[in-house]
Structure formats: structure tokens, C-alpha cells
Structure 1
Amino acid sequence: MSSQVKVEASPPSVSSASNEMETTMTYEAVIPHWFYHKIQDDRGSWNPFSREDSDQLEAAFCSGHNPNSIVIPVCGGRYDVYLGSRRMLSVYWDEEDSEVQRCTWFYKGDKDNKYVPYPENFSETLEDAYMQAVTRNEWKKRLESPSRDLIILHNPKLMVHYQPTGIPDEWGGTPSEQGRPRTVKRGVESISVEILQGEPAQIDHLVFMVHGIGPACDLQFRSIVQCVNDFRLVSLNLLHAHYKKANEQVQIGRVEFLPVNWHNALHADATGVDNDIQRITLPSISRLRQFTNETLLDLFFYNSPTYGQTIVNTVCGEMNRIYQLFLERNPAFKGCVSVTGHSLGSLILFDLLTNQVDPTLSSRLRAKASEYNAEPQTPKQTLKDVLEALELPEFLSVFEKEMIDIETLAMCTDQELKGLGIPLGPRKKILQYVKRRGHLKESNFTTETSLVGDLTQPPLSSGSTLNVVNYEYFDVGIGQVRIDYPQLSFHPQIFFAWGSPIGMFLTVRGLKRIDPNYQFPTCKRFFNIYHPFDPVAYRIEPMVLREEEFEPMLIPHHKGRKRMHLELKEGLTRMGTDILGSLRVAWQTFTRPPMPSLPPSTAEAAPLSVSNLSLATEANSAVKLEEVSVKEEPIHLDVGMLNGGQRFDYVLQEKPIESFNEYLFALQSHLCYWTSEDTALLFLKEIYQTMDISMDQPIQ
């Protein structure tokens, strides 16, 4: 840290009567703060480091060590600052280098009225002039910047910067004061800039975020890195606001969000696909066609065997690379990992997680296969064992005559078996066994249950209309093109999908129902989060529970209530229901036949008959019918095991202005998740709930 130096002005001379009345001024050295900005963005704004990062950089600067050998991790360890070259480089992704500067003096720039720091050397010149002006009480000092601008120090509270519009004379004279004066400030405390305190060093959870189509992720055409930075900042603010007790007890640190960019790998020069597409693109409406080539074509690329494989390899490879690098830079990390996908990115993650292999399931898979009397992993199993298990021992002699063993049987076709004289029924049993045997040998089918049903579920008949696609002819059982899915080097704890078209893609692939017992092999929890006006989002729960009509789970507002317009709408709906119920009960009362009178309560009175008793209680039952229906407990919905038996379709609350025109905000709704506080709070709630840490006040 820069030391504070106090220099008192020399005593005024006796002959100067005016200086005798002036008080002694004290000089204190300016406190520097470190800033950064993109090197290639000459007019870009300068951004301050957090106070913790700035103090760390200042301590390294004042340490006296060779600056060329000093590398300081900043911004939560996502960047490294090379102090000697004054450069900041990203760690986990490719990004333009940023220039780093130790800043003390600033002037107001033309762009957004933000303050721009002077270069370090000239800032030292300004500081020396300021110190002399304070100690000697001599102001009106004029200084010329390296760009020949004029800076005048009128007094401690008035310092201006002139950018002359005139041209210096031929003798190299200094231009006069011209142009609009700019304000000059000394020290970061005197300018209006937000400086964050810093991020906790402890990382509790790591989340990978995969983008959707195109290089831009929001309406401002920002990259995935910028959008993830915003989401990280939103979540950090919510963490401080909703987990104060846990923060005070040092139970939690923070959640780290890292972007996964696959668009650049697909559209880079390595594939050459952009040049091929450009060669066949029509010249008309060029901007619209360029937008289509950069964004919408990603959907077709993913359904292509060639480029779909490239996308999957890139996503999986990037997550594995970043994860290993993260562990190297954070050796004390003991938390879990989750994944998030937006739009097409959620579909990529869904297919990738569907095809992960859990080694712990191998024993259960063999036990499941034994239920079919088809143990593919047992080398001692003979043809005789198979035929006896299929209750077809009478055909053993036929196969032995043709010297057909169990391996040869797996290569026989229906026509070949028919040529051996095997009837239709036994042929179907044998072919079904062969199909299951090959199905279980595939590495993609090592999960305990498949997406379309349990392995013990009998095959559909040929006349069944529930499912006309034979999924066993596909590699993953859901109609996807043939892709060799790589394996992740970690097991995700939660999979969050934003604005996801997963439900639509599964449907058009031919899948009408998801088996309730299905869950991802290596990921036990899943959330399908969407905005109600998102045109790309689809529900998934109705594919599991087809018999019920039910609403998705409503994501609470981050302030702990419903939005006002939704509460008003719900209140009016409830009021209308109460009025209709009252009118219905009144109408039933008027139209019901008169009730028979009860017999007198005497000892000789005959006991009430069953018919009279039922008539007597009919009125009370009719009156209480509406009350009973209202107080009836909600029926528990079994939506399967995708989220461990819990609900997984979650809908955001639209804003009041969005309710006026759904179509106007449709595109914005698909891109709103990156800055959604409600979504970020749901993330934190589910992540820390697994760590048995709850919020200060539960959100209802």
C-alpha cells in the first residue's frame, strides 16, 4: 500500500502580509486503485478491480520484488495479472488480453461521462504538481499531457482538462485554452464508480453453463462470458442477502459459474463449414441470411452426424478441460459440480447425460439381464442353456446338426431360421433374445432403465399405436442420430435447463412417453426452468404423467412473494369461483323436493329407517359439497425419477409489463434467464439444500 506522506508548507515570509493570514495546508499522498480494460478497445471504459484484488495488486507492486516474475490471480481466480507487462489474461477460456493500470488521477471522458485514468507516468507528474501546489499554496499550475492537452490546477476543488481544438503554431507553441473543459479528479474516492468488495475465496459448488444457438446470448449481443459474469454477480448478491446467518458463521463461500463455449469450435476455420455455407448462400437479404447462418443453422448442425459429433465432443471436452484446470488451481475444492444449458445447450446436455456410463450399475444390469435369461457377460453360457431358458429345447438337435453355436445364433436372420424349419413363434423368441443380447452389449445401454421403459417391460405388439418407433434400432433409444458420446470426468449433481426444447425434440424423434423409473445414469436431479412466454421452451412432466392435467411449479419471487398482478388475478379468479359455488348451492336448495318431517321424539316412536336417514343427511351433504371440494388435499403427482421423485417443470413469473403483450416480449423472454434473480435464487436454494444449508427466510 502506498504510504501517506505529510508535508507542511514553509512558514510565510514576514514581508508578505497576505500569506500571514493563510492557514498551513497538509498534503496526503493519494491512495491508488487498480483498473483494467480491453487492449484492443481503445475507447472502452476502464473497470475497477474489487477492493481485495486492488489491495493484493498494490501489495505486490510495493513488495520490491521483480514485477516481471509476479503473477496475481484476480476476479475469483478466473484471470491472472502479469504485473510486469501490466496485462490480464483469462484462465479458463479464450479472450482478448486486458490492460492493467495503477490509477490515481482521472478525467471525465466523452463516452457515457465515465472517468478515464491518466497514464501512470503522467499521473505521477500531476501528483508532484499537486503536492507542490498544496505545500507552497501556489495554484493556477498549468501542465501539458503527452497528447498536448492542457491541465490547469486552479485549487484543490477545481482542476480542469482542456482538449485544444486549435493547431499548435509552427514554432511548437502550446495551444491556448479551447474546447469544453473536462473535470479532473484525484483519487478513486472522488469519482462515481462502483467498487465491489470482492468474492469469497471458498468455493462451495461449481456450475458449467452451456449456451444455445449463435455466438450471442442476449438482446445486447453479448458473449457467453459476459452473460455468465452477470449471472455470477446476481447470484453473489442474492447469496449475501438471503444467507446472512450462514455467511456470518462462515458456513458458505460462493458458487462458481464457468462458461462453456462450443460455437467457436463449430464455426472456426478448422471445420470450414462457414465457407461451405457462404458459398451456397443467396446474395439477397444478406443481413438476414448472415443471421440465419450464425444462429438458426446450429439446430441443423446438431442433427447432422458429422457436426453433431463435433458439438458433443466440444461440449464434453471443454467441461473436462476446465474441470481439471479448476482442480489444479483450487486444490482445496471439495464441492460438487452441476451443469446448466440454455436452449439448444440444454438438449446437448440432455443427450450427453443420457449416454453417460455409471460403473456402479454394471452388477444391476447383469441382474436385470438374467431376468430375461440372457446373460451376455457369462462366457460359459451355451446354446443348450439359452434354448432351455427360452423353453425351446426341442430345436437343439436342429442347430447342432448345422453346427450353430450361441455366437453363430446371434448372426442368424429370420429367413435363415425359417430355412432351418423353425416355426414362426420360436423364431420370434430367438430373434427377441438376440436383439436384447446385442442391446445389452452396447456401451450406450449400461443404465438400469432406458428412457422409453424398463428392460423388463414386454415389447409392444405390432398393432400398438402408443409407440410406432422401435427405439432399439437407435443408439440411444430416443431417435437421435448416431453419435459416439464421450464421457464426463465428473458426475453432475444437478442439471438445470433454461428455455429448453427438450420436450419438443423428444416428441418429434418419436418418443411419446418417458418411463417414470428413468433417471440419468450419473445425475440424480433435473430442473426444467422456463418463462411462460418463451417460444422455444416446452414442458417435460406431461411426457411422464400423460393421464393428468396439471400446472408446473411456480418459481417464487426473489423477494418472497408473488408479483402483484398475479396475486390480483388469482384473487379475482377465487372470488368468481366462490360466487358461482354459492349460486349453485342456492339453486340446488330451491329445486330439491321438500324434506319429510322427522318423527316425534317419543318412546313409542319407531326408529328412523335407512331411507329416512339418508334423506335427512342429504341436505347437509349438498351444502358441504363445495366446502369439502375446496378443502380437499392436493393429489400427489408422480412425475418419475428424473428429479429424484420431485417436480421438475418450473415456470417463472412474468413481469407486469410483459402481461400486456405476450408476443412483444416473446424473444426477450427466451433470453431473460441470464439476469433473472428468481432463477439465480432457485439455483442457490437447490444447491445449498443438498448441503443442509437453508436460507434465512424460506421463499414461499
Structure 2
Amino acid sequence: MSSVQSQQEQLSQSDPSPSPNSCSSFELIDMDAGSLYEPVSPHWFYCKIIDSKETWIPFNSEDSQQLEEAYSSGKDCNGRIVPTDGGRYDVHLGERMRYAVYWDELASEVRRCTWFYKGDKDNKYVPYSESFSQVLEETYMLAVTLDEWKKKLESPNREIIILHNPKLMVHYQPVAGSDEWGSTPTEQGRPRTVKRGVENISVDIHCGEPLQIDHLVFVVHGIGPACDLRFRSIVQCVNDFRSVSLNLLQTHFKKAQENQQIGRVEFLPVNWHSPLHSTGVDIDLQRITLPSINRLRHFTNDTILDVFFYNSPTYCQTIVDTVASEMNRIYTLFLQRNPDFKGGVSIAGHSLGSLILFDILTNQKDSLGDIDSEKDSLSIVMDQGDTPSLEEDLKKLHLSEFFDIFKKEKVDKEALALCTDRDLQEMGIPLGPRKKILNYFSTRKNSMGINRPMPQSASGPNIAKESEFCSRSNTRNDDYLDVGIGQVSVKYPRLIYKPEIFFAFGSPIGMFLTVRGLKRIDPNYRFPTCKGFFNIYHPFDPVAYRIEPMVVPGVEFEPMLIPHHKGRKRMHLELREGLTRMSMDLKNNLLGSLRMAWKSFTRAPYPALQASETAEETEAEPESTSEKPSDVNTEETSVAVKEEVLPINVGMLNGGQRIDYVLQEKPIESFNEYLFALQSHLCY
């Protein structure tokens, strides 16, 4: 307040004409030069900590207008809560704080900004506090009205601001080491530019997001707390994902959006890393971690060990509970804040997050609760060839002499799996062989499930001979569905909604299923509650694996190439395909010419009497030989066309549509695949 009073005194001394008892400043505005002064238009900003630095970011124009209307509404504005950023944040006007709604995040300061100064190390402008901005505005108003400039003000931080003219206003930092007598700061150091109004500073202010939400997508991260090479969190990466989708709506669906035919897609992050590592496991790991290469070991404990945690029953339960409960909680909260939402819900997972979602989806129940139906059971083939007979099993156990006993009692493999120790004893089998047989068949039953023949129509005669194992519910736990894919035996929670599509980015699902002992996925299988499944990956991603070869192992075909957002292939890919086509044509023509030359060289000499016949044949042969390569090329091209035209049956996992989709690499990435391998896994 002392600084404000001193400024008022300086201003009163500079203009002695008004009487001290009158409201001189405001009267002069109305009387003399009211048309010269225009009130500043405020804009609302919020503060974020980026790279350990405070950065002031403007609200979009719609949010800023709503905040200003709430601020100007009256005395009750301090108790108002204004939703911003598409409803993902709430601003408490009285506290001037901004809080995240769906996830945990530090609250950020909110400010009604009118005056700005340029920062230290960058060209970004920093807003003054609201109280000091008001002092600056009053001083500016008097300077414009009285046409008296070179006004000097001192901020609460002992910074000097000088208003030279409407276009030249500077800010001086306080001089370090001022004397103890509290002398006034001097105009030393490099001056900084001062600007009035947000329209005079270089800052991007977006228009805002459409109010209508057509679809909701939950995004689950992979290993570690960081999701890209800039070590950003899942919240920051999903924010970029959302911004890209909004930009694509503007560029590709502008007319439909202007006519309000479509809305937007809302992306919300799901974080499971923090709850997992808040269980105290980090302290236990720290006690056993070696002191050498400390940073590398800390990085390993914080990221790569998440894969091992997921394979542990204890921590796997924590992970699946966190993911499912978070998605259910966010979905419920989203419906409360958006009661008119009628769109669908999808889920997306990156890296290990996609495997977590895959296991959760395979253990869901359909609306009828028929978890054992052949329609919704995950049929898989173990990597062990044909099912061995009972005689072969006994031979493996070196118990072939007891096969006649089982044959006499009409006991096959399924019946033997149901026999107890007492049953085998009554058949006259000694104690040692009894224990071997019971242990062998109980182990196979627990690890592989129930043996069923594969339908002949689903997979053909060759595959029908192989053993197939289908899902069975655990009698001790109604929520756990053991689908027999080698996953950890935990209680998988149910989702309170049915996802429409499951997106897997850079997913190791195929590798994990193979390591778990699965050879193929039944083409008739589909998720109990999810209709679509897309496996999307970068061609150089070292963590990504395909899914379609597990559904159709006997057919080799390329994944679907995702078009560029401009509607074409990248230039280097088109050039590469063109060169490949040219080289193949050149190779075929060269081989055809060499074949003709070789035949002419190796042809046996004809008698002189057959000279006329030889001439006719030599004239006819080039035509025939020249036609052969063209026939071959025609056949090859026709086959290629057939391969492109004929649909590929990849099962019902994605409703009969293709599953594997590959992104187009950048031109610079094609120079060295290994150099961009790590980056390609974090590019999604």
C-alpha cells in the first residue's frame, strides 16, 4: 500500500492544477480526453511448472470469457467454480487455483492478467500480479489522460517500471546488494519490455474445444512413469494426443464441425505406475540394489521391473485392480459431469499397458454371464504338436505295463484325469506308479485346462487334429476367468461399460502369448465385451509384435499400412516401391533375354536338309520365348492383384476385419533403423 500511496503522491505533484479535495484523475478522464483512453481487456492465465520453471499459459478464449463473466457477476463470484479445458479442470475463483478433475495433479495458480513483462532467458511474457496490474493501469490512465509520461513506479519486489510513452515501457530488475539504509533502486541492468494487454504479446490463444463429445477413450501407459523421450508423464502425452485429434478435426472435418454434425473425442489418462510403486516395493528394492552404476539401476528399478511386477501374482493384482478401478471411477465421474453423453467408449494401451488391457478384456463376462460359451471362449493351441495318447503318456512315464489294465477298465485320458488315488489302488496299481500318474495328469490339467476337439469348420482338418483348450471359470472366484493363456492367476475386475474398440500401440501381446505357450488363437474367438481390436505399431519398434500370424499361422501377408494424414504414402515409401518395381521388371527382362541367348547357344546343329525348318523354328522361337516371360509376369501380376483384392480372413477378434496396422516411418528414420529404434517405441 505504501508504494501505491507514493505513486499517488508523485502523480499529484506532477499535476498541481486539480484541487486536493476532488476526484481529479477520474474527472479528467470524463472531461478532457476520455476518448483517448480505452480500458484494457483482461485475459486469464494459469501457471504450470515446466522444466522446473514457472510458465504462464493462457486459457483458451472461451474459458477466459467464462472466467471473466463469473468474475464480473457480483460478490458471490469468490465461491464460483468454473469448469475449463473441456471439463477436465475446475477453477475456484475465490482461491484463484486450478484443480484437475480426473487425475492427481498439483493445483496451479490462476491470474486475471492485463500487464506483462518479458522474462529473463526467453521471449515469453510474464504477467504482473492483479494488484500491481491495477496500479499500472491507473498510472497509465493518468498518463494518457494528462499526456504526462516518464512515470516511474516501484513494484512490491523493488523493481522499477518506467512508462516513457504508450509504445515504450520498460522494467528494471532491482540491483543486487543494495545498502542497508534502503536506498531507492536505480535504473541499472538490461531493461525488459513491458506490454499492456494480451493482444500486444506474442502468445497463442486457442478458440476452445467443441462442447459436444462423441467418444471417450481411456489411455493406459506402459512401463515407467515417463512416456516419451522428453520424460513427460502420461497426462502430458495424452494432452498432446488430444491436441492432435482436435487439429485433425479442424483440417479434415471442418464443415461437419461447423455444422455441429460431429463433436470431439475425449482422451483421459489412466495411471497405474504411481499406485504400484506406492506400496513400499521401492524401499524393499533399494535395500537390495547394488551401489554401483546408481542411475542405471534406479532407471531399471523404475521402468523395466514393471514387467516382472506384472508377472508376480501379488503386484499383478495391484496393477489390474488399479487399471480397472481407475477406468470405472473416471467413467462414472465423466457421466456425472456430462449427463448428456450418448457416445461410445474405447480403451487404448501402450506397451505393457496394452497387455494389461488384453488380460482384463479376456476375463470379462458378457451381458448374459455366459462365460463358458463356445462363442466367447478363447480357443488356443499349445505349442506341442498332436495330443499324445494315453499309451504314449504312460510310455513317457516308463509305465507302459499298466496300459492293459486301463484298457481293460475302459479308462481313457479324460477318465484317468478324474481318477483318485483310491481308484488307482483298486485297479491294482502300486503306490509309486500311482503317484507318478496322478502328479502328471494333475499338472497337465492345471496348466492346460479342458481338452476339447476343434470344430472342423473353424480351422480345417489339419488344425482340428491339434489339442485345443478353452476357458473355464474358477469355482472359488466368480470374477476370475481362467482362459488358459498362461496369465497370472489373479482376480480380474469387471468393467462397468463395454468398450467398442481396443487400441494397442507398440504392443508385446503377441510375444507374451507365445512365451506363455500359445501357438495360435482360434479364429472364432472375440472379446466377450469388446467388438474391435487394432494392433498399431511403428515398423522399427523393438517391443511391438504382430497378432494376425497367431490367428492365421498358415498364411503370410503384410500388415495394413496406415495412410498419412494427408491421404497418401510418404514420398520415400513411394520412391522405394517404384524402384523395387523397376528392379523386378528389369530382372525379369534380363532373365528372359539370358534364357533366349542360352537356348540359342546350346541348340544342337541341324542337317542342311532341315535348314528351312530351322529358319521357321528360329523365327517362331523368339516369339514364343518372348511371350513366356510376359506370361510369367502376367501370372505374377495377376497373383499380386488377387492378393490385394481377395479379402483375408483373420478371424473374429476384430469383427472379421484386419488387426495389424503399421505406421509409415519418417524419411530420416529409414536411413538407420537401429538409431531410431528406441524413439519409435515412444512415438505413438
Using the size of structure 2 for normalisation, the TM-score is 0.78
1:650 matched to which residue of 2? 661
- Match for 2:328: what amino acid? N
2:14 matched to which residue of 1? none
1:637 matched to which residue of 2? 648
2:97 matched to which residue of 1? 87
1:535 matched to which residue of 2? 542
- Choose the corresponding residue for 2:335, options 327, 332, 335: 327
- Choose the corresponding residue for 2:128, options 96, 111, 118: 118
- Choose the corresponding residue for 2:253, options 234, 243, 249: 243
Is residue 198 from structure 1 mapped to residue 208 from structure 2 by the alignment?
A: yes
CA RMSD, 1 decimal: 3.7
On the 8 A contact 2:97/2:109 being kept in 1, the answer is: yes
1:653 deviates by 1.0
2:13 matched to which residue of 1? none
Query: Quick one: structure 1 residues 457 and 309, their matched pair in 2 at CA, closer, same or farther if it must change by over 3 Å?
Result: farther
1:483 matched to which residue of 2? 490
1:111 deviates by 3.9
Distance in 2 (alpha carbons) for counterparts of 1:81 and 1:188:
20
Q: How many residues align?
A: 580
Distance in 2 (alpha carbons) for counterparts of 1:557 and 1:6:
63
SS at match of 2:519: coil
SS at match of 2:668: helix
SS at match of 2:229: coil
2:434 matched to which residue of 1? none
1:560 matched to which residue of 2? 567
SS at match of 1:644: coil
- Choose the corresponding residue for 1:226, options 216, 231, 236: 236
- Match for 2:555: what amino acid? E
- Choose the corresponding residue for 1:413, options 415, 419, 423: 419
2:17 matched to which residue of 1? none
| Superposition map of 1:246-257 within 5 A | 246-257=256-267
**Per-residue displacement from partner, 1:286-306 (whole Å, max 9, x unpaired)?**
111111110011000000000
**Per-residue displacement from partner, 1:342-376 (whole Å, max 9, x unpaired)?**
0000000011101111033629828999xxxxxxx
On the 8 A contact 1:7/1:27 being kept in 2, the answer is: no
Distance in 2 (alpha carbons) for counterparts of 1:24 and 1:56:
28
Is residue 549 from structure 1 mapped to residue 556 from structure 2 by the alignment?
A: yes
Distance in 1 (alpha carbons) for counterparts of 2:375 and 2:198:
69
Moved more, 241-250 or 86-95: 241-250
**Per-residue displacement from partner, 1:476-518 (whole Å, max 9, x unpaired)?**
3111121111100011000000111111111111111111111
**Is there any run of 5+ residues in structure 1 with no aligned partner, and where?**
12-22, 370-394, 400-408, 424-430, 595-614, 674-700
1:671 deviates by 0.4
SS at match of 2:514: helix
1:563 deviates by 1.2
On the 8 A contact 2:116/2:125 being kept in 1, the answer is: yes
Distance in 2 (alpha carbons) for counterparts of 1:6 and 1:72:
36
Using the size of structure 1 for normalisation, the TM-score is 0.76
1:426 matched to which residue of 2? none
Query: Quick one: structure 1 residues 368 and 46, their matched pair in 2 at CA, closer, same or farther if it must change by over 3 Å?
Result: closer
Query: Quick one: structure 1 residues 42 and 511, their matched pair in 2 at CA, closer, same or farther if it must change by over 3 Å?
Result: closer
SS at match of 1:45: strand
**Per-residue displacement from partner, 1:612-650 (whole Å, max 9, x unpaired)?**
xxx999985663331232134333322111111111111
| Superposition map of 1:224-623 within 5 A | 224-268=234-278, 271-360=279-368, 362=370, 365=373, 412-413=418-419, 415-419=421-425, 475-588=482-595, 623=630
Distance in 1 (alpha carbons) for counterparts of 2:373 and 2:631:
53
Query: Quick one: structure 1 residues 142 and 288, their matched pair in 2 at CA, closer, same or farther if it must change by over 3 Å?
Result: same
Distance in 2 (alpha carbons) for counterparts of 1:205 and 1:247:
15
Distance in 1 (alpha carbons) for counterparts of 2:423 and 2:584:
67
On the 8 A contact 2:592/2:625 being kept in 1, the answer is: no
1:171 deviates by 3.8
The percentage of counterpart residues that share the same residue type is 63
On the 8 A contact 2:178/2:185 being kept in 1, the answer is: yes
1:417 deviates by 4.0
On the 8 A contact 1:149/1:163 being kept in 2, the answer is: yes
SS at match of 1:100: strand
2:387 matched to which residue of 1? none
1:155 deviates by 0.4
Distance in 2 (alpha carbons) for counterparts of 1:630 and 1:411:
55
Distance in 1 (alpha carbons) for counterparts of 2:121 and 2:180:
32
Distance in 1 (alpha carbons) for counterparts of 2:456 and 2:292:
53
On the 8 A contact 1:467/1:511 being kept in 2, the answer is: no
- Match for 1:648: what amino acid? I
SS at match of 1:102: strand
Distance in 1 (alpha carbons) for counterparts of 2:624 and 2:457:
51
**Per-residue displacement from partner, 1:10-37 (whole Å, max 9, x unpaired)?**
66xxxxxxxxxxx997110000000001
Distance in 2 (alpha carbons) for counterparts of 1:521 and 1:368:
6
SS at match of 2:370: helix
**Is there any run of 5+ residues in structure 2 with no aligned partner, and where?**
1-25, 378-405, 430-437, 475-480, 604-621
Query: Quick one: structure 1 residues 312 and 455, their matched pair in 2 at CA, closer, same or farther if it must change by over 3 Å?
Result: farther
SS at match of 1:251: coil
Is residue 672 from structure 1 mapped to residue 655 from structure 2 by the alignment?
A: no
1:657 deviates by 1.1
Distance in 2 (alpha carbons) for counterparts of 1:198 and 1:180:
37
| Superposition map of 1:89-238 within 5 A | 89-238=99-248
**Per-residue displacement from partner, 1:263-284 (whole Å, max 9, x unpaired)?**
010001xx21111111111111
Distance in 1 (alpha carbons) for counterparts of 2:637 and 2:28:
80
- Match for 1:145: what amino acid? S
Distance in 1 (alpha carbons) for counterparts of 2:297 and 2:211:
46
On the 8 A contact 2:48/2:57 being kept in 1, the answer is: no
- Match for 2:672: what amino acid? N
Query: Quick one: structure 1 residues 40 and 578, their matched pair in 2 at CA, closer, same or farther if it must change by over 3 Å?
Result: closer
1:389 matched to which residue of 2? none
On the 8 A contact 1:454/1:515 being kept in 2, the answer is: no
Distance in 2 (alpha carbons) for counterparts of 1:368 and 1:517:
8
Distance in 1 (alpha carbons) for counterparts of 2:146 and 2:570:
62
On the 8 A contact 1:39/1:99 being kept in 2, the answer is: no
Distance in 2 (alpha carbons) for counterparts of 1:238 and 1:173:
58
Query: Quick one: structure 1 residues 40 and 670, their matched pair in 2 at CA, closer, same or farther if it must change by over 3 Å?
Result: closer
Query: Quick one: structure 1 residues 490 and 413, their matched pair in 2 at CA, closer, same or farther if it must change by over 3 Å?
Result: same
1:592 deviates by 6.7
1:48 matched to which residue of 2? 58
Distance in 2 (alpha carbons) for counterparts of 1:367 and 1:30:
67
Distance in 1 (alpha carbons) for counterparts of 2:271 and 2:372:
36
On the 8 A contact 1:467/1:512 being kept in 2, the answer is: no
Distance in 2 (alpha carbons) for counterparts of 1:84 and 1:212:
38
1:659 matched to which residue of 2? 670
1:416 deviates by 4.0
Distance in 2 (alpha carbons) for counterparts of 1:40 and 1:363:
48
Distance in 2 (alpha carbons) for counterparts of 1:258 and 1:6:
54
- Match for 1:281: what amino acid? T
1:586 deviates by 3.8
2:16 matched to which residue of 1? none
SS at match of 1:247: helix
Query: Quick one: structure 1 residues 301 and 654, their matched pair in 2 at CA, closer, same or farther if it must change by over 3 Å?
Result: same
On the 8 A contact 2:119/2:126 being kept in 1, the answer is: yes
On the 8 A contact 2:376/2:526 being kept in 1, the answer is: no
Distance in 1 (alpha carbons) for counterparts of 2:79 and 2:31:
43
**Per-residue displacement from partner, 1:114-150 (whole Å, max 9, x unpaired)?**
1000000000000000010111100000000010100
